[in-house]
Amino acid sequence: YDAVEISGLAGGQSVSLAHLLSTNGSGQQVGTSIEQVGVRDGLTQTVTISSADVQALVGSGNASVLTLRVDNGDFVTVSDDASNTTASAGGVTIYSDASKTLQIAQINYLTA
C-alpha cells in the first residue's frame, strides 16, 4: 500500500485531505492508491475528509478504506451528512444515504 505523511504543521492547524487530490501541472492527480495518511506530530490538528476524498485517494470505489494515523488530541471532521455515517472509537463508516444500506467509504483511526 502507499502512505502519505503530513508534517511541518503548527499546532491548531486544519488539514483538508482534498489538497492531496489536486493535480500537478500535467493534469495528473497527485494522490492515488493511498491507503494511509499520517498527521502524527504531537500537536493538536483538525483533519477534514469526505467519502469522495477517501474514494479518490484509495481508488477502490465503494470498497475504499483509508487509515488515518493521528495523535490522541487530533480531531477528524467528516464533511458528509452526519445522518449517513456511523462512528465508533476506531473510525467512521460512510453510507450513500441515511438508510445506511450501501457503504461508500470507511475511515479507520490509528492513534498514538
Tracing cell 477534514 back to the chain, one arrives at: 48
Q: What is the mean pLDDT of residues 17-46?
A: 67
H helix intervals, the chain: 51-58
Instruction: Quote the pTM value.
Output: 0.79
pLDDT surpasses 60 at 19: no
The answer to whether 86 and 92 have CB atoms below 8 angstroms apart is yes
| CB neighbours of residue 71 within 10 Å | 15
Average pLDDT of the residues in 5-34: 59
User: What is the mean pLDDT of the segment spanning 10-29?
Assistant: 56
Three cell numbers, residue 9 = 504543521
Q: Supply angle C-alpha 92, 98, 102, rounded to 5.
A: 70
Q: Give the CA angle between residues 67, 61, 57 to the nearest 5°.
A: 45
Q: Residue 108's pLDDT band (boundaries 50, 70, 90)?
A: very high
Q: What stretch of H or E contains 47? A: strand 46-49
Q: What percent of the chain has pLDDT over 90?
A: 37
Q: Please give the average per-residue pLDDT across 65-72, as a whole number.
A: 90
pLDDT of residue 104 exceeding 60, the answer is: yes
Residue 14 has pLDDT above 70, yes or no: no
Q: Is the per-residue pLDDT at 42 higher than 60?
A: yes
